[in-house]
């Protein structure tokens, strides 16, 4: 019995004259009197293999009627191809139709818009663009784990269901078993004491706080899992469900945090260029013409570091008009971030030490009393791609900051315990995995880099 060969292996390692079995889906079929050409793709690579079918093949006339999208098993002999752009083709000796497809198959040979393809997310995976996106996504996810494993980081599965709102923004999806038609009320407010967990719970917005607990026992840890935001936003950069990579390091400060973030991003850029070459060339040609040059620039760059105060001064002196105001104490908008990385620095830059009023309660307060040890990594074209900070390890200052921001310290007593017993300076950052995929592929909508996007009023499949 002939063992199946993946198309990628057939094209890269196959020998002319060898008999192989390939299985995949028909991308295109061209019929003529003398011969039929079938492009077969099994998802293992961008390129399909050209199957040559001659009239002496059994059931030739049935084969010529195969529809686009059909699943086939093809046995044949590899031979050198006279056509440009392909070294090998497969001369068929037997073809089995594993699963047919009729004329209603929605992925016909024409250019479909991304908007249309989102409506058939279960089938868009068979297109060139989405095949490339999800191969790169898979490869990068595995490289994330290799990067941290090589550095001795512990991989932690933080909870998806949680009773804390890490960012304090109140954008949690509620998790409940209460009767929504008749919820129990106490003084007009829903009483969660009778709920499954006996308290209000939701889907997590971040694994950071739980990650900090592990860092205080294992030193270096990371999380890589799904996170959720019930934010009614329909922008190209927001989704209700997405994946976050969040390392946390004990005995580390903001400078150590930036060092890790720089090494991490450069490693992933280099990996994509070296190990996803065919797909990256496709993105460079079809999606974003300057992609490879830009990613190469980041992979080889030395990342600059700039204080928030200096960034504000640079922006105020900029010979351009911004839509959003520039003042000390205001958060930077995408237009400001892109100007700093593209025009001022000409490469990646960390903006560090932000005003405490615009940052989260857990960030370490600096000695000036005005700023916290926070950082954002800005890169050309997209602006912020990584956000992180040194965490406040001093119990009294952390409790004070929680009260200032309206968080009851008792509600996070477990978090404060790590500051009571064996507290250490520690730091970490968060990288949205989909944002990374968008950056490395040139895709401009987050809905197109996650298998089944969850956005307001959309939870199909």
Type and span of the H or E element at 426: strand 426-432
pLDDT at 461: 87
Sheet of 220-228, strand order: 154-155, 220-228, 241-250, 426-432, 383-391, 371-379, 349-355, 304-307
User: pLDDT for 202-235, tens place per residue?
Assistant: 999 999 999 999 999 999 999 999 999 998 988 8
Q: Which CATH class is domain 128-169+205-448?
A: alpha beta
Type and span of the H or E element at 220: strand 220-228
pLDDT at 167: 54
Lowest mean pLDDT among 165-169, 253-257, 305-309: 165-169
Predicted confidence (pLDDT) at residue 169 exceeds the cutoff of 70: no
Instruction: Name the pTM for this structure.
Output: 0.94
Mean residue pLDDT of the chain comes to 94
Strands 383-391 vs 426-432: parallel, antiparallel or unpaired: antiparallel
d(CA 147, CA 128): 28
Average pLDDT over residues 126-132: 95
Q: Domain boundaries in the chain?
A: 4-99, 128-169+205-448
d(CA 326, CA 333): 9
- Return all residues near 245 (Cβ < 8 A) that are at least 6 apart: 144, 222, 223, 224, 430, 431, 433, 436
d(CA 42, CA 51): 13
Predicted confidence (pLDDT) at residue 456 exceeds the cutoff of 80: yes
> What is 4-99's CATH topology?
OB fold (Dihydrolipoamide Acetyltransferase, E2P) (2.40.50)
User: pLDDT for 56-111, tens place per residue?
Assistant: 998 898 999 999 999 999 999 999 998 777 899 999 999 999 999 998 999 877 78
Longest alpha-carbon distance in the chain: 85
Examine domains 4-99 and 128-169+205-448 and report if their fold is the same.
no
Chain centroid, CA 340 distance in Å: 24
Burial 69-88 (b: 16+ CB within 10 A, else e): bbbbbbbbebeebeeeeeeb
pLDDT at 165: 64
DSSP secondary structure, 12-57, as one string = HH--TT-EEEEEEEEEEEEE-SS-EEEEEE-SSSSSPEEEEE-TTS
């Amino acid at each position: 019995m002939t063992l199946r060969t993946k198309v990628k292996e057939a094209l890269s390692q196959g020998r002319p004259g060898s008999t192989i079995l390939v299985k995949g889906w028909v991308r295109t079929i061209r019929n003529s009197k003398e011969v039929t050409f079938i492009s077969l793709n099994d998802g293992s690579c961008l390129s399909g293999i050209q199957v040559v079918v001659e009239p002496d093949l059994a059931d030739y006339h049935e084969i010529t009627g195969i529809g686009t999208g059909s699943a086939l098993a093809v046995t044949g002999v590899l031979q050198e191809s006279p056509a440009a752009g392909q070294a090998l083709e497969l001369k068929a000796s037997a073809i089995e139709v594993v699963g047919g497809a009729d004329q209603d198959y929605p992925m016909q040979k024409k250019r479909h818009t991304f908007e249309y393809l989102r409506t058939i997310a279960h089938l868009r995976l068979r297109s060139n663009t989405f095949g490339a996106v999800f191969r790169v996504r898979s490869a990068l996810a595995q490289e994330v784990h290799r990067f941290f494993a090589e550095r001795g980081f512990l991989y932690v599965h933080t909870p998806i269901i949680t009773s804390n709102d890490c960012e304090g923004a109140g954008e949690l999806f509620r998790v409940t078993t209460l009767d929504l038609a008749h919820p129990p009320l106490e003084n007009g407010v829903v009483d969660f004491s009778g709920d499954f967990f006996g308290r209000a719970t939701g889907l997590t917005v971040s694994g950071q706080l739980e990650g900090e607990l592990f860092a205080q026992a294992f030193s270096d840890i990371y999380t890589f899992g799904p996170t959720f935001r019930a934010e009614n936003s329909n922008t190209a950069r927001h989704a209700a469900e997405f994946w976050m990579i969040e390392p946390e390091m004990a005995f580390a400060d903001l400078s150590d945090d930036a060092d890790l973030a720089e090494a991490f991003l450069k490693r992933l850029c280099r990996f994509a260029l070296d190990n996803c070459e065919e797909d990256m060339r496709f993105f460079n040609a079809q999606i974003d013409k300057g992609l490879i040059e830009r990613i190469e620039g980041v992979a080889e760059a030395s990342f600059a570091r700039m204080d928030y105060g200096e960034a504000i001064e640079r922006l105020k002196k900029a010979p351009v008009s911004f839509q959003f105001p520039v003042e000390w104490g205001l958060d930077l908008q995408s237009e400001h971030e892109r100007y700093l990385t593209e025009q001022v620095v000409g490469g990646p830059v960390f903006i560090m030490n932000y005003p405490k009023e615009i940052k989260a309660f857990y960030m370490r307060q600096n000695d000036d009393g005005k700023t916290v040890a926070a950082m954002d990594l800005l890169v050309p074209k997209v602006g912020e791609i990584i956000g992180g900070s040194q965490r406040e390890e001093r119990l009294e200052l952390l409790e004070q900051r929680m009260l200032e921001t309206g968080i009851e310290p008792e509600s996070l007593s477990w978090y404060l315990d790590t500051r009571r017993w064996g507290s250490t300076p520690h730091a970490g950052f968060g990288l949205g995995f989909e944002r990374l995929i968008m950056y490395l592929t040139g895709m401009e909508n987050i809905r197109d880099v996650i298998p089944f996007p969850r956005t307001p009023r959309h939870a199909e499949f």
